[in-house]
Structure 1
Amino acid sequence: MAKIGFLGLGLMGRGMAACLLKAGHEVTVWNRSLDKCDALAALGASVAHNPAGAAKEADMVISMVADDGASEQVWMAEDGALSAAKPGMMVVECSTISHVHVTRLAEAAKAHGVHYIDCPVLGPPASAASGSLVLLVGTDADVLARARPVLEVLSESILHFGAVGTGTSFKLINNMLGAVHVAAIAEATHLAHKLNLDPDTLVAAVESGPCASRHTVRMIRAMAHNKLSDQAGLAIGLREKDTRYCMAMAKAHETGLSIGETAYGWYKEALSSVAEEDDSAMLEVITKHNGFVPEA
């Protein structure tokens, strides 16, 4: 069994860390708010008071934090995990961060003599807790082979895209595509409400139609009835960040994303009112923008 440091115990991180403990790994956890470590400590985790403490003696350190700033802090600060890294340690960044930051972090890892694994994930908190995430990996094949026994505990599928940065490239594209789906289904639902379409029939039509996907189906089941989804998904604020990172990546590669930019505009507008809510809150933003709020 491996010695693993785990940084960040939000909705996703605490489920992932719990899976590693249940699989028999020796896990040391750290979170900015230390009280979030209590439940993992009850499962047998050790608790570190800073990221360096979680990395000390670890074979692998995994991070699941919110954004570039948080990632930089847990890895590259004076008390960050890299400051305590032993040669050959595996550094696994599961956070959704920018492509630019991946490059910077991978270079810092190399300078410390450790192996960087670009490893954002697909799946909701329930999948994190059940060990059924999809991992989007960018790293050398031999490094992935070493890490695979641990990563398999967290996942139902490991997709190796290639070199460092490729996993994050796809994750940002995927989350931008999700923003397009959500904005489109919210606009469509708003129009359906104005046209007095029966909510249950609307759901059935979308579910059985050619535009049905896991994402649009989850959204329409909530939006048709003018409520938030009862399945926890990505918060509006996090998807805004991910889509913004994707826009920057596209610009750096001289590629226009006009549809993505339109969807991003809705997410940017949503930040002031529903940043902490699930994607399904986008309907509220669009209806208020258009001056029409349907009856509950």
Structure 2
Amino acid sequence: MATVAFIGLGRMGHGMAGRYLDNGLAVAVWNRSKVKAEDLIARGARWAASPADAAEGADAVVTMVADDAASSAVWLGKDGAASAMKPGALAIECSTVSYQHALDLARQLRGRGLVYIDCPVTGLPEAAASGKLTLLVGAEPADLEKARPFLAPLCTTIRHFGAVGGGTVYKLINNLMGAVQIASLAEGIAIAERAGLDMNLVAEAMATGAVASPQVIRHSRRMVARDFSGASFTAALRHKDAAYAVALAETLLSGVPVSRAALAAYDEAKAHAPDDDEGRMIEIVSRPK
């Protein structure tokens, strides 16, 4: 039986780890808080005392953590997964990290005889739990083929963007564009409110007209209603992704004013309510002067 170690059981990781159990794999799990693993343990997962303990003997180690620092810690820190992995095992980083971190981590893990794939994901927590994510992969073709049995339970689509780092580049572009859309949506709704428009009609028009996108469709009515229950993506996480994306963009382009403006908007959102739903951007935009 193939064995998987899954590290990081947040909104996305919990459902992803559950998919491996659904598909009959032997799964070891680690998270900073054991309480998030209790239902997975009840379903047959092995609780590990550390990332290294989870990775012991695993064919693949999959991580889904918050940022570069957390990624470094679970892979390379004290009791990190890499210290216990067998040569040739798969190291699959599904976290959204910076491009430079993806390259540096690949170099270090390959130096230990491991097969590294950057594999950030798109999709909401419900998609993670039902195996309907889209995976954005950077890997050598042979490494991707080796990893496919461990990717298939998670997704309906694999997009291979070339060598290691390619998946991360696209994920940062994707999330930066999301930041731009949500920040501009908040401003548009605030303008409509101040102008006295019928806000139910505004929300309907935005979600069905030319400006509609998955982000606009998901957030327009929530912003109009000021209903931010069931946060799926926080202001702090979007800010982190936008910051990583802008840092990359500024190495490639002479100027990124729209991207920098979105990042500045998320500076405020992070200060206002870092762990709440990013849709609360509307509260910042619509504050009285």
Scaled by the length of structure 1, the TM-score of the pair is 0.95
Partner of 2:104: 104
The 2-side partners of 1:79 and 1:248 are apart by: 30
1:36 shift after superposition: 1.8
Aligned pairs for 1:139-158 within 5 A: 139-158=139-158
1:238 is matched with: 237
What RMSD in Å do the two structures reach over aligned CA positions? 1.1
- 1:180: how far off? 0.3
Partners of 1:2 and 1:253 lie apart in 2 by 41
* Deviation, structure 1 residue 199: 1.6
Partner of 1:76 in structure 2?
Answer: 76
**How far apart are 1:224 and its partner, in Å?**
1.9
2:47 counterpart of 1:47: yes
2:36 corresponds to: 36
Cα deviation digits, residues 234-254 of structure 1 (max 9, x gap):
111000000000011112224
CA contact (8 A) 1:123 1:133 kept: yes
Which stretch of structure 1 is more off in the superposition, 36-45 or 231-240?
231-240
2:267 alignment partner in structure 1: 268
Alignment of 1:156-167 (within 5 A): 156-167=156-167
Aligned mates of 1:257, 1:273 — CA distance in 2: 25
Match of 1:250 in 2: 249
Give the distance between the partners of 1:115 and 1:255, measured in 2 at CA: 35
| Distance (Å, rounded) in 2 between the aligned partners of 1:47 and 1:252 | 42
Deviations 1:78-99 (A, max 9, x none): 3100001111000000000001
Which runs of 5 or more structure 1 residues have no equivalent in the other structure? 292-296
Q: Could you tell me which amino acid in structure 1 is paired with residue 152 of structure 2? A: E
| Separation in 1, partners of 2:233, 2:8 | 16
| Distance 1:32-1:231 versus aligned 2 partners, 3 A rule | closer
Say if 2:60 and 2:150, in contact at 8 Å, map to a contact too.
Answer: no
Partner of 2:223: 223
8 Å Cα contact 1:236-1:276 kept in structure 2: yes
Query: Which residue in 2 is equivalent to 1:62?
Result: 62
Give, in whole Å, the separation in 2 of the partners of 1:91 and 1:218: 33
Give 1:231 deviation, angstroms.
5.6
Q: Which amino acid aligns with 1:95?
A: S
1:37 is displaced (CA, Å) by 1.8
Deviations 1:102-143 (A, max 9, x none): 011001111110000100000111111111000000001111
Match of 1:283 in 2: 282
Instruction: Using the TM superposition, give the Cα deviation of residue 63 of structure 1 relative to its aligned residue in structure 2, in angstroms.
Output: 0.2
Cα shift at 1:255 = 4.0
Contact 2:11/2:232 (<8 A) preserved: no
Is the 1:124–1:232 Cα contact (8 Å) retained in structure 2?
no
Letter in 1 for 2:263: Y
Separation (CA, whole Å) in 1 of partners of 2:275 and 2:167:
26
Q: 2:175 and 2:108 mapped to 1: Cα distance?
A: 26
**In 2, are the aligned partners of 1:29 and 1:45 still within 8 Å (CA)?**
yes
Separation in 1, partners of 2:91, 2:254: 31
Aligned 8 A contact 2:61 2:92 in 1: yes
3-state SS in 2 of match to 1:162: coil
Provide the secondary structure at the position in 1 that maps to 2:41: helix
Q: What residue ranges of structure 2 are gaps of 5+ in the alignment?
A: none
> Post-superposition shift, 1:225?
2.2
The TM-score with structure 2 as length reference comes to 0.97
Superimposed CA distance per residue, residues 130-183 of structure 1 (whole angstroms, 9 cap, x where no aligned partner) = 110000000011111111122110001010010000000000011000000000
- Matched position secondary structure for 2:161: strand
Q: CA deviation at 1:281?
A: 0.7
**CA–CA separation in structure 2 for the residues paired with 1:256 and 1:57:** 47
The equivalent of 1:294 in structure 2 is none
Aligned to 2:78, what secondary structure does the other structure show? coil
Q: Percent identity?
A: 44
| 2: CA distance, partners of 1:44 / 1:134 | 26
Q: What is the CA distance between 1:200 and its match in structure 2?
A: 1.3
CA distance in 2 between counterparts of 1:226 and 1:22 reads 36
